[in-house]
Every structure is written in structure tokens, then in C-alpha cells.
Structure 1
Amino acid sequence: MTAPSTPAGDPGTSTAPPENVDSPTGAVGTPTPTVAAGPLGQDEIDALQGALGAEQAAVYSYGLVAAHPQDQNELTTTLQILQGHRNRRDLTEERLTQGGATPVGNAAAYQPATPVTDVAGARVLAQDIEFDCAAAWRVVIGSTDQAELRGFALAGLSDAAVRLAQWKVLAGTVPSTVPFPGQG
């Protein structure tokens, strides 16, 4: 994976992604439900469990990304993104519990597709993380007719898509955006 884009207002001059890429409320808005959370059907539970697994893997994997920053600015942003994934993981666990399901536990460890030994490898991993999260949240959107759950999942998908594009820009990957994040 690659790192996010340069800070807003100063494009092209920094190797770090924009500040506050993933605050506790996310880049798009609050990931917390605005309507009372209702019971979940089995398809919704399965999809949310998949998204939870992606967020758990993201939390673990961003520790590897944080070990190889280009500079302090990139490290700070990576740690902010990590906190955003922790928050979304926790909110997803809460939503599953509210819906009558038991959240899946963390795996003991996660194996990145490629070894992370330098900045370039860390940026590739970050892209993989965000693609996986976008794909998982996209499945949640398709699994439900509940507006509250779709909004919750859309925030996750949107945040992951923005971060994916930012990491691609930082790595010089072209194109940096895709028409349907999480697909393919």
C-alpha cells in the first residue's frame, strides 16, 4: 500500500498525508448511527463481522506501517489513521452487540501479503489495508436495507476510499482513485 496524499492547502510539498485524515469521527462524518440501531439479520451480521475483521486487521497492520515512516509528519498521520481504525472497530463491535450478535475476536496475528521492510513496503501495506476495509464496508452496504446501517457502512467505505487515494498519491501510483472503491 502507499501513503496518503499531501496536506490540504499545500499539495505536492510534503510526503505526508493530510492532517486529521481519520479523526475519531472519520473523514466523512460521524460513523455512529443517527437512528436507533435495530436488530440485525444474518446477512447483516455476516457482513458486519467481515468489516470488523478488516478493521481488526487494519489496527494490527498499521503498527507495521508506523514502523517505517518517511518522516515525523507521516508517522503522526499514520498514528491518527490507526486511531480512526480503532474507533471504527470499537463502534462496529458495539453495533453488532446492539443488533444481537457477538462480535468476532481478533486473530492472534495477521500476515501482510508482502514483507514490510521499508517506507515503500509500508505504503503498499497501507493501500492493501484501505482496499480491504473499503471492500468489507461495501459488502455491508449491499447486505442491508436499514438506512442507519447503510449510513454507518458508507462512512467506513468513504473513509477507506479517501485514505486509499491519499496513500496512492503519496506513492506516486496512477491512477490514485478508482470509480468504485472496494470493488475488484
Structure 2
Amino acid sequence: MSDIPPRRVPLPYLNDDLLWKILVKTDPKTAGRCRTLNKAWRYKLSTTLFVKMNYQENKNRSTTLIIGVGYPPTNDNSQWLLRTNPQNGKQVQLNLPVNINHFGFYSMIGSNNGNLCIRFFQDGLNSMLLIWNPLTRNVNYVSDEAKKHCCHAVSLYAFGYLFDTIEYRILHVYKRHFSHKSMSWTLYNSFDAA
């Protein structure tokens, strides 16, 4: 090792206006991830002004936007999933590959690389996880671990698709019972799909 200390160069100061212009031009997913930087940027990137400016920058990209509206379970039984074309604003038909009866509901866990992860209930608390690509119409069903423990306790999900492989991951964090102080977790991957 050398006795000469490395040169430290101070980073240039980037004012908020420049950062704002950079983030407005990014894709919505990157902008959403940047909301975790600090409280100030979380507030700024959540404003309607930013959302409108970001939409104007990204509307000419060849994308389809899927919007989930609602908080399941509700009296209306499920979220509404709308698929729109940002170029012309028209709605495109989005038919789920499962039929949900009036006792069931569904909720969007997440989406990544065109794959949607949806948790759906057919009758009461019997739930399943659905991994679906609307473009290729590829469907995978995964058993939901929530039915093996106290279903009304805390239950959170996260969904992601790995770039370096061709598999997805679902992380399920839950409490086995209300009285437990610790959380448990289960990690699914594409090889667990039925």
C-alpha cells in the first residue's frame, strides 16, 4: 500500500431544480424508487405537479399503464384494474385469467417486467397467488402461505423479477399469530409455482 492518501474531490452541488429536471425525465418506476431518498423528495415526487410532468415526458414511450383502484376487501369485492394506453388515453380490455365469484376478491401485489402478481380469493379466506403476463398470456399459480397461519394477522407481500435470471420472487412477511412479537417470512420463486 502507498503512504500517499487518495485525493478527495468534493462532489459538485446539484441544486433541487436540476435534480427535479432529471427525475421528471426518468421512467415512473425509477422516480418511485427515488421517493425513498428522504422526506423532502418523497413529498416532492408525490405532488400532482411532478406526476403530471413525469407523465408528459413518458407518454410517448411505448408502454401500457395498469392502474389498480380500490382497497380490498370492500363491499364491492375487489379492486378495479384498468389498462390504458398512455399515447391516446383509451382503455384496453384487461381480462383476468381467473373468474372471481361474488364471494371473492383480488388485489394487485406488484408488477415487474410485464408480469403481474395478483392475490385472489374465491371463497372467503382461501387465497391463491397468480403470476400473469398479459402480453404472452403465461399464467402460474402459487399456493398462498397465508391460509396456513392466522389469516387476519399482519400479512405483507412484495414481488420482483430478477434481471440476470428468468425467475420471479415473491416475499411474504407475516405474523403467525397476533400475540407473536416477531415476524416470519416465506420466499417463493418461479420453481415453486404449481
TM-score tier (shorter): under 0.3
> Larger helix proportion, structure 1 or 2?
1
> Larger strand proportion, structure 1 or 2?
2
Given the two structures, how large is their TM-score scaled by the length of structure 2?
0.26
Given the two structures, how large is their TM-score scaled by the length of structure 1?
0.27
